[in-house]
């Protein structure tokens, strides 16, 4: 039906309804690896709620899906793991205009020459690796950002993930963040095999990655051609005082590479907006040239001190943004709520 947003009770009800729908979709996506709507439709719902909350700030609460990291722990299958440092989501923009507004916000907050690292947004699932004295001791899903699922046995089956860091002087403790994905090339083959076994196929490679990794039996994971790329460091405790910490995101990647961890070949640092726009346009046109699905480009302020200065909201860093590409597949709008403004 039609909603009168000038009526506080009606708009509160509408916000509530949107939040419930988003939570239902999150559960299907994160818990069951089986989404019932497309990512674009999900993003559209979130955007509607964000816009509504922006217009009527009294509707914002800590528990709103606009303020939380989606995901939870399936305690029936996995042990709970508390991350040493929080895992965040990313804020999205969907156009060059919205990206421009983000640059303006960043450059207003930190009025220095800002360089941006641009990289591909890997459409997989976020995984946290904990190395202690160079040994992989734990791997976990993101969950709600504070607590995730223990998938150590599963992650140990990935050949991309070293059991020990290749360094004489490993940190006492370090969390490495990355993305596990299912190579696009092998996706059709997996679904054909599943159908042959009488099982349900996966909706897309992202869900195939999540479904393959989140298995009670790690032997199932071992048979799937999962890959991983890492893109961040957290909770770094050096073994001794004598070490040089990276000063930029790009240096973090060099450090990760030195440790023998798999980093993407596709990151570039720019200080020019036109070059950034060209990077975005290029990979928008060449999404099929990469091993994994790309749902956008991630931009990160390169300088780590500036990142720290910018900090985080309750769900995402202020120093990074995801530029989301328009969906490749044709979508239908399952949602039918008319809004009267």
Of 134 and 252, which CB lies nearer to ligand NAD in the complex structure? 252
By the 10 Å C-beta count (0-12 exposed, 13-18 middle, 19+ buried), 20 is classed as exposed
Q: Is 90 in the site for ligand NAD (CB under 6 A)?
A: yes
Determine phi and psi for 131, rounding to 5 degrees. -110, 130
Q: Exposure string (b/e) for 278-309, b if CB count within 10 Å is 16 or more?
A: ebbeebeeeeeebebbbbbbbbbbbbbebbee
Within 10 A of 137 (CB to CB), how many other CB atoms are there? 12
The minimum distance between CB 124 and ligand NAD, in angstroms, equals 7
> Is 121 in the active site?
yes
Residues 19, 53, 70, 318: which binds ligand NAD (CB under 6 A)? 70
Separation of alpha carbons 334 and 324, rounded Å? 21
The minimum distance between CB 146 and ligand NAD, in angstroms, equals 13
The minimum distance between CB 219 and ligand NAD, in angstroms, equals 26
Of 92 and 154, which CB lies nearer to ligand NAD in the complex structure? 92
Residues 11, 48, 83, 121: which binds ligand NAD (CB under 6 A)? 121
- Contacting ligand NAD within 222-251 (CB under 6 A): 231
Q: What is the dihedral of CA 107, 109, 114, 120, to 10 degrees?
A: -90
Q: Could you give the maximum distance between any two Cα atoms of the chain, in Å?
A: 65
Q: Is 43 in the site for ligand NAD (CB under 6 A)?
A: yes
Q: Exposure string (b/e) for 65-83, b if CB count within 10 Å is 16 or more?
A: bbebbbbbbeeeebeebeb
Only segment of 95-103, 119-127, 161-169, 327-335 that touches ligand NAD (CB under 6 A): 119-127
Contact between 280 and 100 (Cβ < 8 Å) = no
Q: Is 25 in the site for ligand NAD (CB under 6 A)?
A: yes
β partners of residue 339? 3
Separation of alpha carbons 145 and 83, rounded Å? 8
Residues 171-210, one symbol each (x = binds ligand NAD by CB under 6 A, - = not), give --------x-------------------------------
Residues 18, 37, 151, 252: which binds ligand NAD (CB under 6 A)? 37
**Nearest to residue 263, comparing CAs of 295, 226, 219, 227?**
227
Interacting residues with ligand NAD (CB under 6 A): 25-26, 28-29, 35, 37-39, 42-43, 70, 89-90, 92, 119, 121-122, 126, 142, 179, 231, 298, 322
* Residues labelled catalytic: 121
List binding-site positions for NAD(+).
Answer: 39-43, 89-90, 119, 142, 179, 300, 324
């Amino acid at each position: 039906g039609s909603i009168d947003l000038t009526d506080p009770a009606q708009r509160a009800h509408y916000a509530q309804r949107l939040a419930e729908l988003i939570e239902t979709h999150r559960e299907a996506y994160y818990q069951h690896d089986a989404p019932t709507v497309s990512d674009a439709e999900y993003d559209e719902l979130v955007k509607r709620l964000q816009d509504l909350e922006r217009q009527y700030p009294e509707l914002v609460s800590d528990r709103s899906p606009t303020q939380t990291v989606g995901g939870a722990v399936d305690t029936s299958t996995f042990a709970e793991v508390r991350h040493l440092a929080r895992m965040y989501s990313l804020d999205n923009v969907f156009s060059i205009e919205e990206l421009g507004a983000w640059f303006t916000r960043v450059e207003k907050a930190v009025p220095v020459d800002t360089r941006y690292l641009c990289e591909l947004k890997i459409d997989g699932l976020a995984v946290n690796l904990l190395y202690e004295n160079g040994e992989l001791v734990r791997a976990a899903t993101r969950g709600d950002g504070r607590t995730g699922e223990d998938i150590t046995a599963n992650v140990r089956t990935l050949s991309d993930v070293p059991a020990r860091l290749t360094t004489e002087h490993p940190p006492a403790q370090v969390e490495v963040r990355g993305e596990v994905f299912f190579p696009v090339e092998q996706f059709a083959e997996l679904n054909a095999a599943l159908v042959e076994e009488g099982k349900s196929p996966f909706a897309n490679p992202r869900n195939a990655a999540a479904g393959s990794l989140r298995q009670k039996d790690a032997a199932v994971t071992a048979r799937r051609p999962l890959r991983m790329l890492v893109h961040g460091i957290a909770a770094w405790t050096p073994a001794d005082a004598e070490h040089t910490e990276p000063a930029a995101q790009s240096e973090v990647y060099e450090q990760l590479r030195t440790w023998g961890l798999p980093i993407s070949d596709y990151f570039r640092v720019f200080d020019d907006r036109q070059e950034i726009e060209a990077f975005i346009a290029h990979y928008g046109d060449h999404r099929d040239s990469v091993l994994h699905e790309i749902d956008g480009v991630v931009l990160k302020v390169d300088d780590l001190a500036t990142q720290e200065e910018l900090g985080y909201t309750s769900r995402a860093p202020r120093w990074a943004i995801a530029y989301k590409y328009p969906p490749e597949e044709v979508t239908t709008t399952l949602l039918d709520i008319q809004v009267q403004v």
